[in-house]
């Protein structure tokens, strides 16, 4: 099963320290060694992005920043694991890596990915 972990936080412009990046890279290395790594990455600020919406048959595109957002997606990881519990264990390790190095609250949503939409999750 594949699970995507979606990291949410307030957009403050804060950048992770080199030590935090090292901790996250170590987590990725461990996931590669255990055969569970599916990819991960951080996302740039919303000022560099845009939103595209389909409403009532019309597509609109709006450039960032997204000032109305209370929280934004700051990054993601994908894990190939055998259960939701295993995905949650990796998520906990990710959050633990931030302790003492990141001073804002984080929330991580853990979602099972659909490999074949016709099969469901």
* pLDDT tens per residue, range 9-19: 988 888 899 99
The confidence score (pLDDT) of residue 14 equals 84
Q: State the pLDDT at residue 120.
A: 58
Q: What's the pLDDT at 18?
A: 96
Q: Report the CATH number that the domain containing residue 54 is assigned in CATH.
A: 3.30.70.1060
Domain membership flag for residue 119: no
**Residue 53 domain boundaries:** 2-12+24-114
Q: Does the residue 32 lie in any domain?
A: yes
Q: Which residue has the tokens 């003492």?
A: 100
Strand ranges (DSSP E) for the chain?
A: 2-9, 37-42, 50-55, 58-63, 72-80, 107-112
Classify residue 47: in a domain, yes or no.
yes
Is residue 18 situated within a structural domain? no
How large is the average pLDDT for residues 78-92? 97
User: What's the pLDDT at 11?
Assistant: 87
**What mean pLDDT is predicted for residues 79-98?**
97
Is residue 19 assigned to a domain? no
- The confidence score (pLDDT) of residue 74 equals 92
User: Would you say residue 45 lies in a domain?
Assistant: yes
When divided into structural domains, the chain yields a total of: 1
Q: What is the pTM of this model?
A: 0.86
* Residue 101 maps to a domain: yes
**Looking at the domain assignment, is residue 71 inside a domain?**
yes
């Amino acid at each position: 099963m594949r699970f995507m972990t979606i990291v949410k936080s307030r957009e403050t412009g804060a950048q992770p320290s080199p030590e935090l990046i090292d901790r996250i890279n170590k987590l990725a290395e461990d996931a590669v060694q255990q055969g569970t790594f599916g990819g991960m990455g951080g996302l740039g600020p919303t000022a560099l992005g845009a939103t595209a919406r389909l409403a009532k048959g019309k597509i609109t595109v709006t450039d960032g920043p997204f000032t109305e957002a209370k929280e934004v997606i700051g990054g993601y990881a994908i894990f190939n694991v055998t259960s939701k519990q295993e995905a949650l264990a990796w998520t906990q390790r990710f959050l633990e890596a931030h302790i003492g190095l990141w001073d804002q609250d984080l929330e991580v949503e853990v979602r099972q990915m659909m490999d074949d939409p016709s099969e469901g999750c």
